[in-house]
Structure 1
Amino acid sequence: MRDSRCSFVAVGSDLDVSSKIRNWCARAERSPEQVRKKLHDWGAGDQSDRWIAALQEEDYVNPKRFAKAFVHDHLEFRNWGPAKIMSALTQVHRISGDQVRQALAEQGKEAVDAAALRAAQSWRRLRPDAPRHKAIAALSRKGFSMDCALRAAEATEAD
């Protein structure tokens, strides 16, 4: 039997997996690596490459779109710096470095500077008497460049 939404033949329990994985991917952006792990958890690990290719063809999974959403969310809500974002996307999600650099470039330097400032302000609220070098080290661990960390630390000291 052929599944009309899929480019390959679905047999037996494949139809259940097909429906489940599409529904799971439709709820949020997913990286191919996340899909691979989920398929493995569901017992379809040996066919995961075939499933991922079909999901990418149908645009349920798109690494560029995932990278763009990940960069936006982690800059805006977690105040991560570019280095930490690059590391997470390339090592954990296995997204290519070029796609990550493109997604970071689309967000722009202003978004990175704003995230650094928010992270510095948050850190300063928790440790108002800590020396400046500790704030810079904390921003560096969050993935910001030394230059960006220095600017953000100086801006919070002026407040």
Structure 2
Amino acid sequence: MVKFAIYTFLGFWMESIYVSIYKKEIYFSGLLKGPFIPLYGFGALIILGIAPFAHNNFDLFFYSMIACTFIEYLTHFFLQYDAQIQIWDYTVFNQRFSNRICMFYSLIWGILGILLVNIIDPFITQCLSIFHPTLLNVAAFFYVMYILYQFYNHHFQH
């Protein structure tokens, strides 16, 4: 739960910075109110879970690309059909499928998977080692509960 919370938070900032640069204005990404995008937390955990099966960075790139593109597709599908929300639209990309996924971002997911496993996660793991595990778990618990509260309010109140 701790790493889910961290990668949900880091994903929010990474995407917000990227979109702010793209739009040339400050923009905070995400559907929910707060510094979190759960898609990145789930994606990171799945990549870390499949990383032991990758024999090299090419495998890791491929597995990350496929897994995260699948998560992206399912997330878009769920948001569009269950909550009638279309949070992203890839109509500007030629290599896309149902405007839910596109080749450009699939390749980005592969690159991020390599960076996550080889650089980011080892650094995060080292940083976490200085904190007491109970403190980390309690903080992560409240963070994730707040995410669920935001999801509940957004999903069921509209």
Larger CA Rg, structure 1 vs 2: 1
| TM-score of the two chains, using structure 1 as the length reference | 0.22
Higher RCO (CA < 8 A, seq sep 6+) = 2
TM-score with structure 2 setting the length: 0.22
